[in-house]
Structure 1
Amino acid sequence: MREIGIEELVIGDCLSKDVYNDLGNIILSQGTEITKRHIDYFKKHSIDYVYLDEMDSEAPILSNYELQTFNDLYANMIDIYKTLYFQIKAKHYEFDAMTLLDEIKPLVDHVLMDNDVLQCLRHVEVAEEYYIKHAVNVSVLSAITAKWMNMDSETVYTVALAGLLHDIGKALVDHNILFKPDQLSAYEMSNMKEHSKFGYEVIKNNPTVPREVLAAVLFHHERSDGNGYPSGLTEEQTPFLARIIAVADVFDAITSDRVYKEKVSSFKAFSIIKDESFRGLDPRVCEVFLSNIATFFVNNRVKLNDGRIGDVVYINKYALNRPLVRVNNEFVDLSMDYSVDIDDVL
């Protein structure tokens, strides 16, 4: 919460404290979104300042140097994971997980320092297959989620390692199934679902892999309602690291282009994750992930579903995926107009 002068108010700002008149009566309650009518009223009645939520503050824009540093670290991790992936594909299962952990720490540290993981990933210049990039993306998304959940640094790094290895079993899935551009048959889907077991088999006898990582690799597709795989575990039965990776896995999968499906915007992904928190994904992890991810939406240039281009200027904490967008000199409040949606982040 911060105090702000009336002259600095922007349409769409959200009050974090009730506003009273001279008689002590509430004229605007906490949570009200500011309109032009409200600003005119404040000026007319000599109300000089109000208190706003911090959510309206702008997310930092990373410098070209910071983005390039991320790209370099990301490209290095892509090479390392790709080498491991094809090593596993060739049935050579011996590797040092602690060396792998040391190699990913610089990338994780860079993301944890800058925090705006969406901006970093959006500016990745590395051309590589989805299944390779996905492992690195889930690693950093899982790590930053662990940080947001106030886990200690050792656990954050363990989560990063688990995220990197979560789909390593796909190296043993039939190539034709993995890259099939059409919908999978029931048999093919059954084979694809074996990848978590395959990954477990690959690393279960490796003494350098922490047990928490082993469990996360095996159970990252379990769901709270018991409809996941391979064991149909409920939320309480699923290891917590697996639940963190599940959220990062789903978010990256639906915001990435794949052979059979185009990506959706991070705003649409936000809605999907929120819906899934009521069914299969851990609601506590989802809440932490979404509330923090939402802070990075400010400053995004977006394309609306009616073709207009604008900039996200404000995030309403009561409708995190329905921001206020400035289009030229006009403000479009998506939390009020559900006929307008965000098609893409530019």
Structure 2
Amino acid sequence: MIVNVEELKAGSILAEDIYMRTNRPIITAKTVLAEEHIKILKAFLVEKIPVQNTQIDGTKMNQSNTSIHNKGEKGIKSDFIDLFLHTVQLYKKEFISWQSGLSVNIANIRNILLPLLEQLKDGSTEIFSLYHLSNKKEYIYQHSIAVAIISALIAQKLNYNYRDTIQVALAGCLSDAGMAKIEQRLLHKTEPLTEEEFNEVKKHTRYSLEMIPEHTLLKNETRLAIFQHHERIDGSGYPMGNVDTKIHVFAKIIAVADTFHAMTSERLYRKKHSPFRVIEQMHQDHFGKFDLTILQALSNAITQFTTGSKVRLSNGEKAEVLFIEGNVSTRPLVKIIENEMILDLEKNRHLFIDEILEY
């Protein structure tokens, strides 16, 4: 829908790139608009912009001062983003209830997740654009839902049946349930945690296991995965420091999904990063910590672009994918659309793909 800039509120989500006599957008699609973005739009005398139907807090846009955008929204599909943001708000209510001392209702969590999992059946790839929606204040709630669906997607890529895929998603969603027992000051701290504070936060894996009851909808392996999701196959993780063979495969999946979303997301003390750059970092900087088969499954899911796909590079330029080398799929040969320059991203390591614009 089209919204008057004068009526914009922080938290609206931009549906299309905004250009002002420039080859590069002044603000890119999927940006969660803050007050500074609105000031930029006003400074450029932009009168109206296209936004998603739902704001970052899950509320619907007030249509009294808007008109329907008939061209169709670009970027994240509106039905998917609406569903994701709505699911986050449902989970947030559950989390707040845990903070007040109520027990975890497994059936509620399962029912919250199922609609999103149904979207994955259609091969939805929009989940790799969710990092654009990362919001400092809502991070802890967004993270749990994102980890659930990323874990489920990995399970699908590993050819898990639907029942086990649901179990992996439940484990991913509930892996941080124990954060409800952590002091809120630490959850919303704007600077990196001290060693003492981090040790306190690490207790959330035990709290999660204590909070989550045995249930017919939850396998014992799923509860174990919730407890183990911060273990690493080289023994460097917590809470037990287990190595490869002592870590359940569900936990290994969640470990990859959890780290991936955390590294892509905007945090209270860290900016968001491109999923393509994060995948490279996980392969290189975290080598030996994650199961390579699982990490490759996630990598394959992300790099589903093909020859002819349109992408945006980290310098803001749009490019067309010309050739993909199998073992460096995040760094294909591309052609810059503006000047038709051919660029090998493998040889130009200072650049990387920021996002896929068109398959």
- Common fold, TM-score beyond 0.5? yes
Aligned partner of residue 243 in structure 1, secondary structure: helix
Aligned-pair distance for 1:336? 2.7
Return the alpha-carbon distance in structure 2 between the equivalents of residues 206 and 116 of structure 1: 31
Name the aligned partner's letter for residue 318 of structure 2. Answer: G
Q: Are residue 146 (structure 1) and residue 148 (structure 2) matched?
A: no
Q: Which residue in the other structure is 2:45 paired with?
A: none
Aligned-pair distance for 1:224? 0.5
Which residue, 321, 324, 334 being the options, matches 2:345? 334
* Rg (Cα) greater in structure: 1
Q: Which residue in the other structure is 1:18 paired with?
A: none
Name the aligned partner's letter for residue 177 of structure 2. Answer: I
Give a deviation string over 1:2-58, Cα, whole Å, max 9, x none.
xxxxxxxxxxxxxxxxxxxxxxxxxxxxxxxxxxxxxxxxxxxxxxxxxxxxxxxxx
Q: Are residue 309 (structure 1) and residue 309 (structure 2) matched?
A: no
Q: Are residue 258 (structure 1) and residue 267 (structure 2) matched?
A: yes
Aligned partner of residue 235 in structure 2, secondary structure: coil
Q: Which residue in the other structure is 2:113 paired with?
A: 104
Q: Structure 1 residues 63 and 142 mapped into 2: Cα distance closer, same or farther (>3 Å)?
A: farther
Q: Are residue 235 (structure 1) and residue 244 (structure 2) matched?
A: yes
Unaligned runs of 5+ in 1: 1-61
Kept in 2: contact 1:116–1:296 (CA 8 A): no
Q: What is the number of equivalent residue pairs in this alignment?
A: 281
Kept in 2: contact 1:71–1:126 (CA 8 A): no
Aligned partner of residue 122 in structure 2, secondary structure: helix
Aligned partner of residue 329 in structure 2, secondary structure: strand
Q: Which residue in the other structure is 1:184 paired with?
A: 193
Aligned-pair distance for 1:175? 1.2
Aligned-pair distance for 1:124? 5.3
Q: Structure 1 residues 83 and 76 mapped into 2: Cα distance closer, same or farther (>3 Å)?
A: same
Return the alpha-carbon distance in structure 1 between the equivalents of residues 277 and 132 of structure 2: 19
Return the alpha-carbon distance in structure 2 between the equivalents of residues 212 and 120 of structure 1: 30
Unaligned runs of 5+ in 2: 1-71
Return the alpha-carbon distance in structure 1 between the equivalents of residues 113 and 284 of structure 2: 32
Return the alpha-carbon distance in structure 2 between the equivalents of residues 140 and 117 of structure 1: 11
Give the alignment's Cα RMSD to 1 decimal. 2.6
Q: Are residue 323 (structure 1) and residue 304 (structure 2) matched?
A: no
Aligned partner of residue 331 in structure 2, secondary structure: strand
Return the alpha-carbon distance in structure 2 between the equivalents of residues 167 and 155 of structure 1: 20
Q: Which residue in the other structure is 1:48 paired with?
A: none
Q: Are residue 272 (structure 1) and residue 281 (structure 2) matched?
A: yes
Name the aligned partner's letter for residue 325 of structure 1. Answer: V
TM-score after normalising by structure 1: 0.74
Q: Which residue in the other structure is 1:57 paired with?
A: none
Give a deviation string over 1:169-209, Cα, whole Å, max 9, x none.
11111111122121211110100111111111111455653
Kept in 2: contact 1:257–1:263 (CA 8 A): yes
Aligned partner of residue 302 in structure 1, secondary structure: strand
Return the alpha-carbon distance in structure 2 between the equivalents of residues 300 and 185 of structure 1: 42
Aligned-pair distance for 1:254? 0.5
Identify the range of structure 1 (238-247 vs 67-76) with the bigger mean alpha-carbon deviation: 67-76
Return the alpha-carbon distance in structure 2 between the equivalents of residues 118 and 73 of structure 1: 12
Aligned-pair distance for 1:166? 1.1
Aligned-pair distance for 1:244? 0.3
Kept in 2: contact 1:294–1:321 (CA 8 A): yes
Return the alpha-carbon distance in structure 2 between the equivalents of residues 264 and 172 of structure 1: 29
Name the aligned partner's letter for residue 82 of structure 1. Answer: K
Kept in 2: contact 1:310–1:325 (CA 8 A): no
Q: Structure 1 residues 190 and 116 mapped into 2: Cα distance closer, same or farther (>3 Å)?
A: same
Aligned partner of residue 262 in structure 1, secondary structure: coil
Return the alpha-carbon distance in structure 2 between the equivalents of residues 223 and 131 of structure 1: 22
TM-score after normalising by structure 2: 0.71
Q: Are residue 67 (structure 1) and residue 77 (structure 2) matched?
A: yes
Q: Structure 1 residues 94 and 228 mapped into 2: Cα distance closer, same or farther (>3 Å)?
A: closer
Kept in 1: contact 2:77–2:126 (CA 8 A): no
Aligned-pair distance for 1:227? 0.8
Aligned-pair distance for 1:126? 8.7
Name the aligned partner's letter for residue 173 of structure 1. Answer: I
Name the aligned partner's letter for residue 342 of structure 1. Answer: F
Give a deviation string over 1:66-101, Cα, whole Å, max 9, x none.
812212221231122111101111111142x13421
Return the alpha-carbon distance in structure 2 between the equivalents of residues 344 and 274 of structure 1: 17
Q: Structure 1 residues 119 and 269 mapped into 2: Cα distance closer, same or farther (>3 Å)?
A: closer
